[in-house]
Amino acid sequence: MKPSSTQPVGVAGIYPILYAFFDGSNRLDRDAMRRQMETIVRTGAPGAAVLGLATEVNKLSRTEREQVIRWAIEDSGDSLPIAVTISGATIDAQRDLASFAIEQGATWLILQPPVLHAGETPRPEAFYFDFFAAVMQGFDGPVGIQNAPEYLGVGLSHESLERLAAQCSNFRLLKGEGPSILLAETVARIGHLMPVLNGRGGLELLDNLRAGCAGMIVAPDCFDWQQRIYKAFSDGDDAQAEQLYKEVLPGIVFVMQSLDTLICYGKRIAAWRMGFDVEHDRDTTLLPTRFGLEAARRFAQRLGPLA
Residue type, 101: A
Residue 175 contacts residue 110 (beta carbons within 8 Å): yes
Mean pLDDT, rounded, of the chain? 93
264/223 Cα distance (integer angstroms): 17
12/2 Cα distance (integer angstroms): 11
Decide yes or no: CATH 3.20.20.70 for domain 13-237.
yes
| CB burial readout 101-132, b (16+ within 10 A) else e | bbebbbbbbbbbbbeeeeeeeeeeeeebbebb
Q: How confident is the model at residue 10 (pLDDT cuts 50, 70, 90)?
A: low
93/87 Cα distance (integer angstroms): 8
Which phi and psi (to 5°) does residue 24 adopt? -65, -15
Cα-Cα-Cα-Cα torsion 65, 71, 76, 77, nearest 10 degrees, comes to: 130
In the chain, which ranges are E strands?
13-16, 48-50, 82-86, 108-111, 143-147, 171-176, 196-198, 215-218
Q: pTM of the full predicted structure?
A: 0.92
298/48 Cα distance (integer angstroms): 26
pLDDT higher than 50, residue 4: no
Model confidence pLDDT, tens digit, residues 246-272? 999 999 999 999 999 999 999 999 999
Model confidence pLDDT, tens digit, residues 131-182? 999 999 999 889 999 987 766 667 899 999 999 999 999 999 999 988 999 9
Model confidence pLDDT, tens digit, residues 34-66? 999 999 999 999 999 999 999 999 999 999 999
Q: What is the pLDDT of residue 307?
A: 77
pLDDT higher than 50, residue 2: no
Residue 266 contacts residue 255 (beta carbons within 8 Å): yes
**What is the rounded average pLDDT of the residues 186-195?**
95
